[in-house]
Amino acid sequence: MLKTSILTLTLCLSLLANSLSNADPLQAEKESIISNQQRIAELRTVNSDIDSNSNLLNSDLEKLNAQLPAVRGSYIKQQSTLKKVEQQQLETPNSASEGLVKNAGFKFYLAERKYKKLNNSIAQLDRQLSELKVARASNNSQIAALNSDIVLSKERIIKLQAEKEDQQQAVIAARKRQQQERLKAQQAQIAAEKEMKALKQKLLAAENKAKSTAQQVSPPVARPAFPDTTTQEQLQLAHKTEAIEAAEEVRPVLILDQATAKEAVEELDKLVENSSNRNKKINKILHVKTYHNKDLIKQSSHTMKYLGNEQYRAKVKARAGANKLIVGGNSWSIDMPRNQQRQSFDFVLDYRNPNKPILSAYNHKFAN
């Protein structure tokens, strides 16, 4: 009966656990604690009943054990008497001794029966007490396991609550970040729209100014290929564009020996030292185009810093082969030797005569 009850309760708990598995984990743990506490209460009630039954059985056992010495003594006495009369019957067989044997045998039968019955009762009580002890020990083991489960459930509840709080905080933080990002995006969009509007206004103003200027200037002046000089210089160069294009290719002065390079550097220093308007000119741009079989393979641009006295200088890594050098509307052709590949060269522009500027180049290491 007790085993059946335990099996039924176990099955119920299993079904309950399965139903809780699909529920909210936090709620499932709370319900598991309640279920385990109820089961512990039931087991303790069963243990209380076991204790009551055990007390009754122990009381009965004490009474039976108290009877045992007398019953055992009677059994032994009747057994001894039976043996004596049986011996006498053997020695002097007669009707009187035969009657004594029968009487002693009947008394022994009654004593033996009582003794065996008492022993069976004691053994049965011992067995029942043992079963109750086993049941109580099993219940105590279940109670300990359930208490352990309750402790684990409480720990999991603490963890789940912390995770839930963290998730809530994470959701709040994520929403806050989204709001901030949305606000930032809106602000960026507004700023971009303002910038675009301002650019359009500037562009419109520039177009209007260009139209106004075009109406005032006549005839139009051709612009140089690389407008990096002053407006006056651009106009002068524009008038000479056709003449320059038609003229024979101009080559720069390429200095490859150190002595000549030193002389060029000293002459440049003297020209610059005698200058009184170093900061009155803007820098120029040197465009370098490298060709192979008349095909353009590489080009680069470099700033020619104004040094003074119409002298400009740029530091350029040489590219071997055919190169075209362009400054404003002026161009030069140069074949850079292969042994000078990737060497740093100083390109110096003497612009004292705008109609015929001179471009020279020497290895940068010679200038030091």
**Domain boundary residue, one of 159, 176, 193:** 176
Q: Quick check: 326 and 287 in contact, CB under 8 A?
A: yes
Query: Where does the pLDDT of residue 32 fall: very low under 50, low under 70, confident under 90, or very high at 90 and above?
Result: very high
62, 147: one domain: yes
Domain residues for the domain of 46 are 2-176
11, 121: one domain: yes
Query: Where does the pLDDT of residue 2 fall: very low under 50, low under 70, confident under 90, or very high at 90 and above?
Result: very low
Query: Where does the pLDDT of residue 238 fall: very low under 50, low under 70, confident under 90, or very high at 90 and above?
Result: very low
- Burial of 325-346, coded b for 16+ CB within 10 Å and e otherwise, reads bbbbbbbbebebeeebeebebb
Assess if residue 42 is contained within a domain. Answer: yes
- Name 360's Cβ contacts closer than 8 Å, sequence gap at least 6: 252, 253, 254, 255, 264, 347, 348, 350
- Name 303's Cβ contacts closer than 8 Å, sequence gap at least 6: 283, 284, 285, 286, 314
C-alpha torsion angle, residues 203, 208, 211, 216 (rounded to 10): -130
Q: Quick check: 57 and 128 in contact, CB under 8 A?
A: yes
271, 345: one domain: yes
249, 139: one domain: no
Query: Where does the pLDDT of residue 288 fall: very low under 50, low under 70, confident under 90, or very high at 90 and above?
Result: very high
Assess if residue 189 is contained within a domain. Answer: no
Assess if residue 204 is contained within a domain. Answer: no
Nearest alpha carbon to residue 55 among 140, 137, 138, 129? 129
Q: What is the DSSP letter of 293?
A: T
- Helix/strand/coil for 232: helix
- Helix/strand/coil for 183: helix
Alpha helices in the chain (DSSP H): 2-21, 25-91, 95-216, 231-239, 241-246, 258-273
171, 255: one domain: no
Query: Where does the pLDDT of residue 173 fall: very low under 50, low under 70, confident under 90, or very high at 90 and above?
Result: confident
Count other Cβ atoms within 10 Å, centred on residue 357. 19
31, 163: one domain: yes
C-alpha torsion angle, residues 278, 281, 287, 288 (rounded to 10): -20
131, 280: one domain: no
Distance separating alpha carbons of residues 345 and 313, to the nearest angstrom: 10
Assess if residue 211 is contained within a domain. Answer: no
Assess if residue 91 is contained within a domain. Answer: yes
Count other Cβ atoms within 10 Å, centred on residue 109. 12
Distance separating alpha carbons of residues 96 and 103, to the nearest angstrom: 11
- Name 183's Cβ contacts closer than 8 Å, sequence gap at least 6: none
16, 161: one domain: yes
Tens of pLDDT along 139-169? 999 999 999 999 999 999 999 999 888 888 8
Distance separating alpha carbons of residues 2 and 45, to the nearest angstrom: 13
154, 41: one domain: yes
Query: Where does the pLDDT of residue 250 fall: very low under 50, low under 70, confident under 90, or very high at 90 and above?
Result: confident
Chain centroid to Cα 160, Å, comes to: 21
Strands (E), 262-363: 284-292, 295-308, 311-317, 321-327, 330-336, 344-350, 358-363
Q: What is the CATH number of the domain that holds 65?
A: 1.10.287.620
280, 172: one domain: no
Count other Cβ atoms within 10 Å, centred on residue 314. 22
Count other Cβ atoms within 10 Å, centred on residue 101. 19
Distance separating alpha carbons of residues 144 and 138, to the nearest angstrom: 10
Assess if residue 203 is contained within a domain. Answer: no
Tens of pLDDT along 321-353? 999 999 988 999 999 999 999 999 999 999 999
Assess if residue 308 is contained within a domain. Answer: yes
Partners of residue 360 on adjacent β-strands: 253, 348
Please tell me the predicted confidence (pLDDT) of residue 132: 92
Tokens of 49: 């009943």
Chain centroid to Cα 271, Å, comes to: 66
Work out how many domains the chain is built from and give that number: 2
Residue 229 in this model has a pLDDT that exceeds 90: no
Assess if residue 145 is contained within a domain. Answer: yes
Partners of residue 289 on adjacent β-strands: 299, 324
143, 240: one domain: no
Distance separating alpha carbons of residues 348 and 253, to the nearest angstrom: 10
162, 51: one domain: yes
Tens of pLDDT along 92-119? 888 888 899 999 999 999 999 999 999 9
